[in-house]
Amino acid sequence: MPNANEDNPSALNQVQSRAVSELLRVSPVADELARRFQEAGFSLALVGGSVRDALLGRLGNDLDFTTDARPEDVLKIMRPWADAVWEVGIAFGTVGGQKDTRVGGVSQSFQIEVTTYRSEAYDRTSRKPEVSYGDSIEEDLVRRDFTVNAMAVALPEKEFIDPHGGLDDLAARVLRTPSTPEASFSDDPLRMMRAARFAAQLDFEVAPDVVAAMKAMAERIEIVSSERVRDELNKLVLSAHPRKGLTLLVDTGLADRVLPELPALRLERDEHHRHKDVYDHTLIVLEQAMALEEDGPDLTLRLAALLHDIGKPRTRRFEDDGRVSFHHHEVVGAKMTKKRMTELKYSNELVKDVSRLVELHLRFHGYGTGEWTDSAVRRYVRDAGPLLDRLHKLTRSDCTTRNKRKATTLSRAYDGLEERIAQLQEQEELDAIRPDLDGNQIMEILGVAPGPVIGQAYKFLLELRLENGPTEYDAAASALKEWWAAQN
């Protein structure tokens, strides 16, 4: 394990203590697997993020190992031992597995990845890395993205291996590359996004030479697949400090290539400062939305907060009276959100939900001081559907005014709207608003067979329900007959 650092013995003693504690917890699994590799004539070491997290005192049950064994040998060793084995990453030298065991009297499940020593490199046009296997752990560690991820613990003897000063960088909370940043990013340009992601996750600073290389090589990110870019962006957005990572993406020019709508929010302010900095406002809204999360990070909410105003640059107008307007930016922004998220290969469901939140985020501002009718409140709930709770959070987060009186007035108005929604939900089951008559009843009352007219009648009755609230059968049937008569 780490040797004592004479310059800061107490800090390192804490690191040593955390690491030993974490490694002792996973030893029943790690040591058992290491002995199997040893018996087969191979080496095994805990590596990368697992070692970093052990040193930070946050090692989970996802364990990363590296070995000199080739993937086919790893399979032979893992299959009789693990509870499940998968080969999804075997083309890149990685074998995955699951091991269920009892640790300290508690049943635990460990997700394990064992990767053969390797090196990866992109050519100028490839979207996929070429994999070649290495024969030493030193070769393997130098190809890793950052020094804090280039440490290993050889097992089962627990020998600490740190050829690139990762422990010192961990203590300094800085991200450096084991080789030159240019060589590292040339090998895999996605590492530039990973720098931003780790800065956001760990609250680390990125070394100046690494930032300089990110700026100089930003265009190289364009050869990386949309799926890989999306996955890194998700991890960044879901981190504890996304502003830090997003700012780095914008400042280095990477965002211009992966999420150009974000830097586009840095609108030049007119000489009289008649509108807010939309970019800074967006980052504040994101942080305020995070503060309202109740069950951990919410990707849908965070993406909606990040993208809610991306329609503003396209809709900005300087009015004759000196005001700046962004009419219909929510509609334009929803379309832009759908386009960008689709290009980044997000699921259809997530694209639909985030776009809908962007489209609805201004709806509340027509509420004023409570002038909405019950019908308008019903429509607000109906249009939000299952996104209502997220819409509440997004709308509240969108208030970044420094005018305390205005902020208080907006907050109270939204409190009032939520109270009215709650009251109507008690009375009318707003979460599942349906017409007072179903399709079968419509056909029976009108004496018609299934066909387009049933959908038209259903739509009429739904509007009636939204406008007037629940209606008794006889009244609904009478209204339906009147509507039918008018159609004929």
DSSP notation for 184-251? HHHH-THHHHHHHHHHHHH-PEEPHHHHHHHHHTGGGGGGS-HHHHHHHHHHHHTSS-HHHHHHHHHH
Distance CA 310, CA 278 (A): 9
Residue 270's pLDDT is 45
Cβ atoms of 67 and 74 closer than 8 Å: yes
Tell me the pLDDT tens digit for each residue of 263-281.
999 875 544 444 458 999 9
Distance CA 259, CA 341 (A): 9
Q: 166-180 as b/e, with b when 16 or more CB fall inside 10 Å?
A: bbbbbbeebbbbbee
Residue 271's pLDDT is 44
Distances (CA, A) of 353 to 45, 290, 304, 341: 43, 17, 9, 11
Q: Residue 159: which H helix or E strand, with range?
A: strand 159-161
Instruction: Check whether the bond before 450 is cis (ω within 30° of 0).
Output: no
**Radius of gyration from C-alpha coordinates of the chain:** 29
Tokens matching residue 346: 């997000």
Tokens matching residue 406: 């205005």
Task: List the one residue out of 175, 197, 195 whose CA is nearest residue 185.
Answer: 195
Classify residue 294 as exposed, middle or buried by CB count within 10 Å of its CB (0-12, 13-18, 19+). exposed
Distance CA 334, CA 75 (A): 47
**Beta strand pairing status for 94-103 and 205-206?**
unpaired
- Read off the pTM: 0.81
Distance CA 70, CA 191 (A): 25
Distances (CA, A) of 153 to 16, 20, 24, 65, 302: 13, 11, 13, 9, 36
Distance CA 56, CA 19 (A): 7
Q: Which long-range contacts (CB under 8 A, 24 or more apart) does 380-384 make?
A: 380/417, 380/421, 381/421, 381/424, 381/425, 381/430, 381/431, 381/433, 382/430, 382/433, 382/466, 384/356, 384/360
Classify residue 115 as exposed, middle or buried by CB count within 10 Å of its CB (0-12, 13-18, 19+). buried
Q: How would you write the pLDDT of the chain (488 residues) with one tens digit per residue?
A: 454 344 555 555 666 666 767 777 788 889 999 999 999 999 999 999 999 998 888 888 999 999 999 999 999 999 999 999 999 888 889 999 999 988 777 888 999 999 999 865 555 566 566 678 888 999 899 989 999 999 999 998 888 899 999 999 998 999 999 999 999 998 889 999 999 999 999 999 999 999 999 999 999 999 999 999 999 999 999 999 999 999 999 999 999 999 999 999 987 554 444 445 899 999 999 999 999 999 999 999 999 999 999 999 888 888 777 788 788 899 999 999 999 999 999 999 999 999 999 999 988 876 666 677 787 888 888 888 889 999 999 999 988 777 778 787 788 888 888 888 887 776 655 555 677 677 788 887 777 778 788 888 877 777 777 777 777 777 778 887 787 778 87
DSSP class per residue in 63-117: EEEEESS-HHHHHHHHTTTSSEEE-TTGGGTEEEEEEEEEETTEEEEEEEEEEES
Tell me the pLDDT tens digit for each residue of 462-484.
777 777 777 777 777 888 778 77
Residue 11's pLDDT is 53
For the chain, helix, strand, coil in percent to 5 are 60, 10, 30
Residue 147's pLDDT is 96
